[in-house]
Amino acid sequence: MNAESTLVCECVHTKDSCSGNPGKSSESITAVALEFVPSKTIELCSVDSEINRGNAIDECDGKSLSAPGKVWVRAARVACIESNKLKHHGLALWEFRKMVQGPSGTLNGWNYSDESPCDWRGVVCDNVTNHVIRINLPRARLTGTISPRLSELSQLRRLGLHANNITGAIPSFLVNLTYLRTLYLHNNNLTETLPDVLGIMPALRILDVSGNKIEGPIPATFSAMNKLKFLNLSNNRLSGEVPGNSLLCGSSLLGLPACKPEEETKTDHKGSRWSAWKILVLSIGIFLLLKMIIALLILCHCLRQDRKREIQLGKEGKLVMFRGETVPKSKAMLQAVRKLRKRDIVGEGGYGVVYKTVLKDGRVFAVKKLKNCLEAAIDFENELEALAELKHRNLVKLRGYCVSPTSKFLIYDFIPNGTVDQLLHPRTEEGEKGNPVDWATRIKIARGTARALACLHHDCQPRIIHRDVSSKNILLNERFEPCLSDFGLARLMENDHTHVTASVGGTYGYIAPEYAQAGRATEKSDVYSYGVILLELLSRRKPTDSSFSAHHINMAGWLRCLREKGQELEVVEKYLRETAPHQELAIALEIACRCVSLTPEERPPMDEVVQILESLANSSESTQPTVTETTATSNET
């Protein structure tokens, strides 16, 4: 082999040279050693192999090649190995994908070349540590067994793989996930027995393995699950007694065989009577047990109080700041709240006025003064504590609250880049639309908003219905990621939590017709509002545009009229029609059309919308500049 000999390391499907573009990879690598001579090319070696740290090249290297050829083989091996950017948690999830990826390819958005799995479908990471804390893949048509490498996700708190076709046994390695609180494996094809280790998982609070083919008894260790709040073992093939409840059996509860007749379980105690000393011992035992329960309740209360800082403000008033790395001292925030002035107002919505406050250390927060907040609102402070527990990158973080006999304030992180309404419809003296907003930025906003609503609808227990989803309630952070605000506030303004109200909330133009007519809000009402926002992103026209009222229609009606004529693409702004991929625009229009259907049952759930938009966002963000990039370029020039 002469000096011109080389090796081609080709990434199958992408057809990109590994050495030429080490940032891309795919499911298999072809390693080929070729000898180039003036008249022909001689193939010396060709090996296909699954990506596994250069297996293909190792096999090719083992062939009988001359020294120059082997030098090129080894050089290509280094280039291909460097294409793997995934680290510890990403590799563990990749192995999980390989074992459960079904023929439908629902996890094709998980890319081996990504630096982090945090943007993968169904994966949520901690905002500070970037550790994977939640895997939520219901109804994803997964098939296969659960990879043992999931045990490496040491910070995992929720694992939701329900409504799939996962087989095999419930893995015992789950005991290594010491922070796991929620385990949803129901409606799969799991078999064998319940592992004993489930009963000793320290943080487990929710366990649902119903609707499988699990056999055998319930392990005795289940009786020690002190933190468990919800357990569902129904519709399996279990047998025996429930631990700690020898007579709790029978088909009506868990499908267990009926208990033995009472006569067989009784011991003949005829003629025996409780003596006075036995009654005394029992009384003392009950007394000590009650004292222990009271002490435990006091301890729990103290631990709960430690999660927040509280300052009393005289009669019936106080300021509470929830614990966190970025939370300021309560006294500093109290001083800032007391100094709020009209010049600090940055916005006003249906639930109150928003102020911007800057602390002495330079940190900035948003303070919302609630209006018309009922004094008799049910569990006001408990509701706020529940909202503070919500952690999602597309939801504005609640940091604290201040209550007094006359006012109520909510304290949030300040989101600096305004609202989607201000981005799409800037106020200019000439009445122009302002700078162009590219497709990558718009699809990012659509995807992030869908994720936020999916979290409220599908991940929260009980579910949260927003009731005022509009472009004014979607804020934009430094990276122009959307952050949904005002979630959960509708519940604070009511006397009950039935989602039925005499006065309809929400922003004109975004309200679902059934909500406007009957006053009953559901998840489908939020889906309708989301569809209007998607149309607003596509058309860059306000739902309250004067052209709609002139023709006695709304934005959804406008879309339906054009769709009947086969002209629905006319909804899209001309700038987008000229610059964005038409196939992606057509898919986004189809989603919007389904979301604003007059029949609530025909509107898709938000988790389904997320699945569709994620694929569009991945392709768009990799090829188009965003508003932030465009702004940065203009500033440099």
Model confidence at 150: pLDDT above 80: yes
The residue length of the chain stands at: 637
Q: Which of 252-261, 358-367, 417-426 has the lowest mean pLDDT?
A: 252-261
Same domain, 464 and 523: yes
Say which residue the tokens 């998840």 belong to. 523
Model confidence at 62: pLDDT above 80: no
The domain spanning residue 559 has which CATH number? 1.10.510.10
In a domain, 96, yes or no: yes
Higher pLDDT residue, 141 or 273?
Answer: 141
3-state secondary structure of 431: coil
Same domain, 142 and 60: no
What is d(CA 117, CA 124) in angstroms, rounded to the nearest whole number? 9
Same domain, 197 and 58: no
Same domain, 101 and 190: yes
Q: What is the pLDDT of residue 373?
A: 59
What is d(CA 146, CA 170) in angstroms, rounded to the nearest whole number? 8
Same domain, 455 and 578: yes
| 229 among annotated binding-site residues | no
Say which residue the tokens 């504590």 belong to. 385
Model confidence at 495: pLDDT above 60: no
Indicate if the alpha-carbon torsion angle 486, 490, 493, 496 is positive or negative.
Answer: negative
Q: What is the pLDDT of residue 494?
A: 58
In a domain, 343, yes or no: no
- Cβ-contact 385, 473 below 8 angstroms: no
Domain-terminating residue out of 233, 259, 285: 259
Same domain, 42 and 94: no
Same domain, 43 and 107: no
Model confidence at 465: pLDDT above 60: yes
Same domain, 55 and 98: no
Which element (helix H / strand E) includes 357?
strand 352-358
In a domain, 62, yes or no: yes
The yes-or-no answer on residue 468 being catalytic is yes
Same domain, 56 and 37: yes
The candidate with the shortest Cα–Cα distance to 328, out of 365, 354, 303, is: 365
Same domain, 576 and 455: yes
What is d(CA 505, CA 525) in angstroms, rounded to the nearest whole number? 11
Considering its fold, how many domains does the chain have in total? 3
pLDDT classification of 39: cutoffs 50, 70, 90: very low
Same domain, 59 and 130: no
- Cβ-contact 249, 225 below 8 angstroms: no
pLDDT classification of 379: cutoffs 50, 70, 90: low
CA angle, 336 as apex, 332 and 342 as ends, to 5°? 175
Domain-terminating residue out of 207, 228, 259: 259
220: left (phi over 0), alpha (psi -120 to 50) or beta: alpha
Q: Which domain holds residue 494?
A: 418-630
- Cβ-contact 82, 55 below 8 angstroms: no
- Residue 497 contacts by C-beta under 8 Å, 6 or more apart in sequence? 378, 491
In a domain, 560, yes or no: yes
Amino acid at 204: L
What is d(CA 170, CA 38) in angstroms, rounded to the nearest whole number? 61
- Cβ-contact 529, 474 below 8 angstroms: no
- Torsion angle, CA of 109/112/117/121, rounded to 10 degrees? 10
Marked catalytic residue, from 119, 413, 459, 468: 468
In a domain, 335, yes or no: no
